[in-house]
Amino acid sequence: MRSWRRSWLRLRRQGRFLLGVYLVLVALGAALYALIARLREVPAEELTNRLLVFLLTLFDLTLMVVVLFVLLRSVFKLFVERRLGIIGSRFRMKLLVSYLLLILVPAVLISLLATSLFSHLASSWFSAPVEAVVQAGASLAEGVRRESEERSLRCAQAMAAHLSAVEPRRRAAELERLHFSGKNHLSALFGENGPVVELLEPMRTAALRLPSLTASELSHAGTRVDRVSRVLVVRAWVPLGDGAVVVCGEVWREDVTAAQARLAQAAASYQALKLQRPAITATLVLSFGGIALVVVFAAVWTGLYLSRSFTEPLMALAATTAAVAEGAELAEVPVPGEDEVALLVASFNSMVRRLRAQEQELRATVARLDAVLGAIRAGILWLDRERSAVRGNPAAAAMLGLPALCEGSVPLAKLADHGLGRLVEVISSAASGYRSSLTLYPGGAPKHLEVTVVALGRGPEVSGWVVALEDITQLLRAQRQAAWSEVARQIAHQIKNPLTPIRLAAERIARHFAQNRNDLGEVIPAGCRAIVDHVRSMQELLDAFSRYAKLPPVQRRPVDGEEFLQQVVRLYQGVKPGVEVKLEASLAQRRVWLDRDLFRQVVVNLLDNALEASTPPGEVVVRAFWEGEEMVLEVLDRGPGLPVEDPELLFQPFFSSKGRGSGVGLAVVLRIVTDHGGTVRLEPREGGGVRAVVRIPGGEP
């Protein structure tokens, strides 16, 4: 850096010395030329013009020599560097040649064209037609002014003739009417003591301060032209017989006023320029030639400078980029100075540093993510934006029986070949936030999965999809075992209750029989009736359990949901007087996949409970509608509400809050809905009553 600065200072000092020598020589040449012209007694104005032409010619010749020297020297140097194979020489040569062609060719063409054009223009400027046009312009400006005076005078005469027949006290109002009806620029009425009314068009004269008209001027008809601000004001006046004076005028627009002034000025300037035609032509040609040479010199110098300043850091960037493209590690490039290219290099280095940090962070994140995905028991699938390819973690591969999922991307359609067609359909069409339970058969064995689909991004910015799989097979089996354990406990409890009175009745009969008591004839029938009643109760309990345990497997078929519900609800019309059963269904757009016979039992059990809880007058409402991929069934009543704090207790087998019945109705509902892959819940209804909500997947299984 220091050596570069020393070289630059040395070159700058040499340049100043050469420039000083050149200026001294030019001054001596100009003085000599002026002395020779003075000895020949050349007029001062002509001497100035000749001296200017001499200096311009000398300046042009000097620039031509400098441009040729710099250009040839640079081209020769680049040619030698190219032959030696120095990196960047080819690019610098192309850059310099391209830059020169873009500047030099247009500059030369424009110089030649301008020289011809100036010569032609000089001839046309001072031709007879031009002179005639200039004179005609001056005459036109004068004629327009006179015509404006005549129009103003005629307007004043017409207004005076009209106002002379009007009473003096009404003249002001009449003048105002004439002003606006005639769209005059300026109208006024003067009395013996001064102006009575003055009317000006605001758009033209709002900013004008017009000179006052003297009494001597108003004593007789006349006109007056004043230049006020940047406009020309023409006024004409005509006296009335009783001492009043009517004034009418025009206000020229600024552009018209300026045009009139320019026409007059052009005539005077033209005559002065006509005398300096030769000097003007030479000066223009030489000046433009000098400008063209300056542009060419600047282009050459700029091209050389840019070729050096651009190529060195750019070549370094190119070399680094090529190395990175070949697999090398990210490396920074030395910053060359403080210009824009240096800013580019600094930005590149900053990008390299950020990429290094991001790469390290990404690797760490990927490592952590791989560790997490490998450790969690939930299956995770991730798909591309089009949901055409899928990958998974080891847990997902184990769940689905596809080890290839954790080794690389697998076409999503390929999963259907392994008994996962239902999962493929859900993943392909599900919206973000979809959540449902599926029963799949990977390898032929049933497996129950909880599926959740989430989009990465929103709307058109979705970049991919994530599917979470949770194996709930063991959970469902444990829940089923727990349910059966609870059923066994409830059955034992229900059987134990009647066994005590049976035992007591038998013991009483035996005791009375052993003692041969007189009331034996009464005790035996009474004890037998008690035993028979409790045995019958136990038989009913066992029959209910048998029905609950022997529910057939679900056979889902497409069903017209509205027609199905109408058939069931129609059976309950008028069953309980004073309680109306209504159906509100909106399922007409598609069919529902369910087991018609089993699901009828769900609706019947819910309606039985709702009708039993309702008291006249009242109503039970059955609603059915689609919510995403699920069909929602609601049964609403206005009964006393939930009898227990935890509604889940009502779904346990043999649990009853009524003190009668088998207590398996809601348990059957839960069993059937669960077998359909759905959910059921009871919740308090706003305003009183209970809302039973059933949700089942309504699509094809």
pLDDT at residue number 71: 72
Q: Answer yes or no: are the C-beta atoms of 556 and 701 closer than 8 Å.
A: yes
Residue 328 structure tokens: 């090398």
Q: Answer yes or no: are the C-beta atoms of 589 and 550 closer than 8 Å.
A: no
Closest among 251, 252, 235 to 159, alpha carbons compared: 235
Order of strands, sheet of 245-251, starting from the edge strand that comes earlier in the sequence: 194-200, 186-191, 245-251, 231-239, 222-228
DSSP for 381-442, written as a single string: EEE-TTS-EEEE-HHHHHHHT-GGGGTS-EEGGGGGGGT-HHHHHHHHHPPTTEEEEEEE-G
pLDDT at residue number 144: 76
pLDDT at residue number 1: 43
Is beta strand 389-392 parallel, antiparallel or unpaired with respect to 410-411?
antiparallel
Calculate Rg over the CA atoms of the chain. 55
- Report the 3 state secondary structure along 622-690: EEEEEECCEEEEEEECCCCCCCCCCHHHHHCCCCCCCCCCCCCHHHHHHHHHHHCCCEEEEEECCCCCE
pLDDT at residue number 623: 92
Measured at the CA of 207, the angle between CA 205 and CA 212, to 5 degrees, comes to: 75
Give the list of residues 6+ apart from residue 507 with CB closer than 8 angstroms, or none. Answer: none
- Judging by beta carbons within 10 Å of its beta carbon (0-12, 13-18, 19+), is residue 194 exposed, middle or buried? exposed
pLDDT at residue number 87: 60
Q: Answer yes or no: are the C-beta atoms of 188 and 204 closer than 8 Å.
A: no
Closest among 562, 599, 589 to 677, alpha carbons compared: 599
Query: What is the Cα–Cα distance from 653 to 487, expressed in whole angstroms?
Result: 6
CATH code of the domain occupying 557-697:
3.30.565.10
pLDDT at residue number 230: 75
Cβ neighbours, 10 Å, residue 211: 10
Q: Answer yes or no: are the C-beta atoms of 383 and 428 closer than 8 Å.
A: no
- Report the 3 state secondary structure along 42-69: CCHHHHHHHHHHHHHHHHHHHHHHHHHH
pLDDT at residue number 658: 53
Is beta strand 245-251 parallel, antiparallel or unpaired with respect to 379-383?
unpaired
Residue 210 structure tokens: 């017009």
Q: Cis omega (within 30 of 0) on the bond before 617? A: yes
- Judging by beta carbons within 10 Å of its beta carbon (0-12, 13-18, 19+), is residue 222 exposed, middle or buried? middle
3-class secondary-structure state, position 608: helix
Angle between helices 473-515 and 520-549 (to 10 degrees): 170
Angle between helices 665-675 and 596-613 (to 10 degrees): 140
Closest among 622, 667, 624 to 648, alpha carbons compared: 667
pLDDT at residue number 340: 62
3-class secondary-structure state, position 270: helix
Is beta strand 186-191 parallel, antiparallel or unpaired with respect to 194-200?
antiparallel
Residue with tokens 């032209």: 225
Q: Answer yes or no: are the C-beta atoms of 451 and 439 closer than 8 Å.
A: no
Residue 318 structure tokens: 């190119």
Closest among 529, 544, 623, 614 to 580, alpha carbons compared: 614
With residue 483 as reference, give the H or E element that holds it.
Answer: helix 473-515
**What one-letter code names the amino acid at 599?**
F
Is beta strand 618-627 parallel, antiparallel or unpaired with respect to 579-586?
parallel
Which is it for the CA torsion 9, 10, 15, 20, positive or negative?
A: positive
Q: Does domain 376-465 have CATH number 3.30.450?
A: yes
Domain 135-268: CATH architecture, name and number where available = 2-Layer Sandwich (3.30)
Query: What is the Cα–Cα distance from 613 to 634, expressed in whole angstroms?
Result: 16
pLDDT at residue number 25: 66
Query: What is the Cα–Cα distance from 278 to 273, expressed in whole angstroms?
Result: 10
Q: Answer yes or no: are the C-beta atoms of 636 and 621 closer than 8 Å.
A: yes
pLDDT beneath 50: ranges in the chain? 1, 4, 8, 203, 206-207, 659
CA dihedral 640, 641, 647, 651 (to 10 degrees): 60
Query: What is the Cα–Cα distance from 250 to 224, expressed in whole angstroms?
Result: 11
Angle between helices 89-125 and 44-84 (to 10 degrees): 160
Closest among 472, 692, 482, 687 to 602, alpha carbons compared: 692
What's the half-sphere exposure (Cβ side, CA atoms, 13 Å) at 230? 7
Give the list of residues 6+ apart from residue 578 with CB closer than 8 angstroms, or none. Answer: 615, 616, 617, 618
Cβ neighbours, 10 Å, residue 583: 16
